[in-house]
Structure 1
Amino acid sequence: MIEAEGLTKIYGNHVVAIEDVTFRVERGQIVGFLGPNGAGKTTTMRILTGYMPPTRGRARIAGYDTVLQSLEARRHIGYLPETVPLYPEMSVRAYLNFMAEIRGVPNRKAAVERAMALTGLEDQADTLIGKLSKGYRQRVGLAQAILHSPDVLILDEPTIGLDPRQVREVRDLIRELGKTHTILLSTHILAEVQQVCHRVLIIHRGRIRADMTLGEALRSRRPDRVFLRVERDDGRIPDALGALRGVRRVERLESGVYEIHVADDTEEDPSPAIAEAALRQGWRLMELRPVGLTLEDLFLQVTAQD
C-alpha cells in the first residue's frame, strides 16, 4: 500500500532533509513513524502525500507513483495533518459535505453519514465546528480523511493537545480504522505506538534506523538490567555479583531483591553467571529475569547513534 524507495530530499544545494529512505507498509498494518524533531518525518510524509517531489527516489501509494500519477495516488490517501484545516463557522455535516464535494466523492450524503458514524460524530452533526471540543475537532479531521474511503491513512500527531479521555477515544478510533485501512501514524507519544501499532519505523538524521514489528523491536536489544530475587540474602550478594563479567552495578531494592545493571560495553548476558553464583552460594534462587526493554529504551538507543 505504501512504498518508499530510496527517497532523498535536498533543500538548496547542501541541506539533506532525508537520504535513502526505504520502507513498505502492507495492507491492514498500523505503523508508528517515530523520530526526534528535525529527523525527517514531516519531509517524508509530504513526499508520500504528493505535497512535494523527492530529489531522488520514488514513492507509491496503492501502486501509484506520487509524482508521475499524483492525482490517482492522492485519491487513495486520507491525510490528517497536525493542524487540522477546519472552518469553525460551518457545522460538522456542512463541512464534511463540502469536503466530499471538492473531492468528487460519489453519493456524498451516504459518504458523510458513514464518516460521521465511524468517528462517532452523529450527535454533533449540526453543531458548529467552532463550538466543538478539541477531541471532537480531531474526530472531524479524521472524518474528512476517511470520507472518500481511502486505502491509506497518514496521521500526523492525531492526539496532540488532547486530554486523557480524548486521547483514549482517538486511539480506540485509530485501532478500529486499522481493521479496514493501512495507517502510517507519526507521533512523539511512544505509549501511543505501543498501544495501537503493529510495527515501528524510527528515523534519525534523515535515515531509517529501525524497521521492525513491536515484538521484534523489544526483543532485538540486549536488556540493560536483570532482576534477581533470592530467598536467602547473606549480605554478600552485591560484592559477589559485582565481580562477574558483564555486570556494571548491583542495586539492592529490598532484602533478597536486586537489580543488576549490565555493562554498556558488553554483549554478554550475565544471567547464566548470576544463576550459577546463586546456586554456588546457596542463596536459593526464586526469580531471575531480564528487565523488559521499553519502546522508550529502544528509541533512545537508536537515536543516540552517530
Structure 2
Amino acid sequence: MIEASSLTKRYGSLRALDKVSFEVHRGEVVGFLGPNGAGKSTTMRILTCFLSASAGTARVHGYDVFDDPLDVRRKLGYLPQRAPLYGEMNVWEYLSFVADMRGLDHSLFKKRMKGIVEVCGLAQVLGKDIGTLSHGYRQRVGLGQALVHDPPILILDEPTSDLDPNEKAEVIRYIKEIGKERTILLSTHNLSEVEAACARAIVVSKGRVVADGPLDDIRAKSGKVRYVITVHEKKVFEGGDGYRSGARKPPTAQEVQEALSGLPGVTSVTELPTGDSAHSFQLLGALGGDIRPELFQLVVQKGWLLLEMRRDSQSLEDVFKALTRGDERKDRGRKLITDDLDDEDEASAAADDEDEEDEDDDSAGDEAKDGRDGDEDEGAEEEAPAKKKG
C-alpha cells in the first residue's frame, strides 16, 4: 500500500532524509517513530505529495507520488500535525466543504457522515463552530476530514500532540477502530501509543531508518533482557517464626545494588523510583539467558523479603533511546533547519518580490532624479546665455 525506496531530501548541505526505504502492507497499523528533526514529517509530506524528494521513489496504492499526485491524493486521508480547519465554520459545514472539494455528491456525503460521526465521536458538536471546540474535538474533526472520501490509506502526523491524557486515549481508540479496515501510518512521540495501537514500528534517526519490524523484534534489537526485582527495605526473613520488622538489620539500597551487580550474567543495575518502603532495581542480562534462579537464591541467602521479580524484553523506550542516541545539539539544529526550510520557497519568493519592487522603486527614483537634473541643467543652460548676453 505504501512503498518508499531510497527517499532522499536535501536542503543545501543538509540531508533531511538519507535513502529512506520501507513498505507498509494492506491492513497494517504502523508506528513511525523518531526524535525531533529525524525526518518523520518530511517523509509524510513526500508521501502525501506536499513536498518533492531530491532522489528516490515512492508509491502509494500503486501510484507514483511524483507522476500521479492526484491519484495518490484520492487514495489518501491525511491529518497533519496542525489540521487545516476553519474556525468560523461549524463541524457539519466544514466536513461538507471538504466533501465538495473531494467531488462527493450530497447524498453520498450524508451516508458517509453516519459512520464518521460514530467513529470520531462528533455527534454532540456537529452544529458548533470549530473555533469554539477544545483541541481534542478539533483533532476529531481533523480525523473526520481525512475519512470523508473513505480512503483505504491514512497518514496521521502526531495526531495526539498537545492533547490531555483523556483526549489522547480517545483519539488512539478512534485510530484503532479506524485501523480495522484501513492501512495506517502513524507518527508519534508517545511510545505507549505505539504499543497500544500498532503491531509494527519504523524508527528513524538523523534521516535514516534504524529499525523496522514487529515491536517484539525491535525490543530484542538491544540483545538484552530486562529484569525487575523489588525487595522490602525493612522486613527480613528470620526463619520459622516468619517475617519480623527490625529483627535483622534491613538492607540499604547500596547493599542490594552491589549484591545484584555481583551476579554472573548481569551487565547493568539501575535503581528504579518507588513510592513504597522498598528497593526496586532494573537489571540487564544477555538475551539467551535467564538469571531468575540466581536472583531468587541471592534473595533467600540474604534473608530479604521479595516483593516482585519479573523478566521481560527491554522496554521499547529504552531501545528507542539506544537507537536514536546522538548529539542532541545537532538534532536540535537539524530540527530548526528543517522546520525553517519548510517555508523556504515562499520566503525566498517573497524576498525576490520585495527585491524587484525595491529595484523598481530605485529605478523610478533614478529616472525622476535624472529628469529633475535634466530640467535643472536645461534651465541653467538657458539662463547662462541670457546672463552672458546681458
Match of 2:319 among 280, 298, 304: 298
Aligned residue in 2 for 1:84: 83
Cα distance in 1 for partners of 2:256, 2:79 equals 54
Aligned residue in 2 for 1:47: 46
- CA shift, 1:244, in A, is 4.0
Match of 2:291 among 271, 283, 304: 271
Q: What SS does the aligned partner of 1:227 have?
A: strand
Q: What SS does the aligned partner of 1:90 have?
A: coil
Please tell me whether residue 159 in structure 1 is matched to residue 160 in structure 2: yes
Q: What SS does the aligned partner of 1:141 have?
A: helix
- CA shift, 1:186, in A, is 0.7
User: For the Cα contact (< 8 Å) 2:34–2:203, is it kept in 1?
Assistant: yes
Return closer, same or farther for 1:251/1:4 CA change in 2, 3 Å cut-off.
closer
Aligned residue in 2 for 1:11: 11
Return closer, same or farther for 1:246/1:90 CA change in 2, 3 Å cut-off.
same
Aligned residue in 1 for 2:32: 33
TM-score relative to the length of structure 1: 0.85
- CA shift, 1:218, in A, is 2.7
Return closer, same or farther for 1:182/1:243 CA change in 2, 3 Å cut-off.
same
After the TM superposition, which residues 55-204 of structure 1 pair with which residues of structure 2 at under 5 Å, given as runs? 55-106=54-105, 107-204=108-205
User: For the Cα contact (< 8 Å) 2:237–2:303, is it kept in 1?
Assistant: yes
User: For the Cα contact (< 8 Å) 1:241–1:277, is it kept in 2?
Assistant: no
Q: What SS does the aligned partner of 1:54 have?
A: coil
Q: Which moved more, 1:247-256 or 1:68-77?
A: 247-256
Q: Which moved more, 1:237-246 or 1:225-234?
A: 225-234
AA of the residue aligned to 1:261:
L
Aligned residue in 2 for 1:227: 229
Cα distance in 2 for partners of 1:146, 1:289 equals 43
Cα distance in 2 for partners of 1:185, 1:200 equals 9
- CA shift, 1:123, in A, is 2.8
Higher relative contact order (CA 8 A, sep 6+): 1
Cα distance in 2 for partners of 1:32, 1:200 equals 4
Return closer, same or farther for 1:163/1:305 CA change in 2, 3 Å cut-off.
closer
Q: Deviations over 1:71-91 (max 9, x none)?
A: 101111100011111111111
Q: Which moved more, 1:15-24 or 1:155-164?
A: 155-164
Q: What SS does the aligned partner of 2:124 have?
A: helix
AA of the residue aligned to 1:31:
V
Cα distance in 1 for partners of 2:117, 2:205 equals 37
User: For the Cα contact (< 8 Å) 2:29–2:197, is it kept in 1?
Assistant: yes
Q: Deviations over 1:4-57 (max 9, x none)?
A: 111111123x11111111111111111111111111011100111011221111
Return closer, same or farther for 1:150/1:249 CA change in 2, 3 Å cut-off.
closer
Return closer, same or farther for 1:249/1:217 CA change in 2, 3 Å cut-off.
closer
Cα distance in 2 for partners of 1:133, 1:280 equals 55
User: For the Cα contact (< 8 Å) 2:265–2:291, is it kept in 1?
Assistant: no
Q: Which moved more, 1:157-166 or 1:205-214?
A: 157-166
Return closer, same or farther for 1:58/1:240 CA change in 2, 3 Å cut-off.
same
Return closer, same or farther for 1:270/1:62 CA change in 2, 3 Å cut-off.
same
Q: Deviations over 1:265-285 (max 9, x none)?
A: x77857278369659969899
Cα distance in 2 for partners of 1:80, 1:47 equals 14
Q: What SS does the aligned partner of 1:52 have?
A: coil
AA of the residue aligned to 1:84:
A
Please tell me whether residue 261 in structure 1 is matched to residue 283 in structure 2: yes
AA of the residue aligned to 1:166:
E
Return closer, same or farther for 1:34/1:122 CA change in 2, 3 Å cut-off.
same
- CA shift, 1:124, in A, is 1.9
Q: Which moved more, 1:64-73 or 1:283-292?
A: 283-292
Cα distance in 2 for partners of 1:115, 1:256 equals 49
Aligned-CA RMSD value? 3.3
Cα distance in 1 for partners of 2:65, 2:89 equals 32
Q: Unaligned stretches of 5+ in structure 2?
A: 239-247, 328-390
Cα distance in 2 for partners of 1:227, 1:279 equals 10
User: For the Cα contact (< 8 Å) 2:122–2:140, is it kept in 1?
Assistant: yes
Cα distance in 2 for partners of 1:250, 1:116 equals 48
Q: What SS does the aligned partner of 1:155 have?
A: strand
Q: Deviations over 1:90-137 (max 9, x none)?
A: 111111111111111243332334322331213322211112222111
Q: How many percent of aligned residue pairs carry the same amino acid?
A: 42
User: For the Cα contact (< 8 Å) 1:242–1:250, is it kept in 2?
Assistant: no
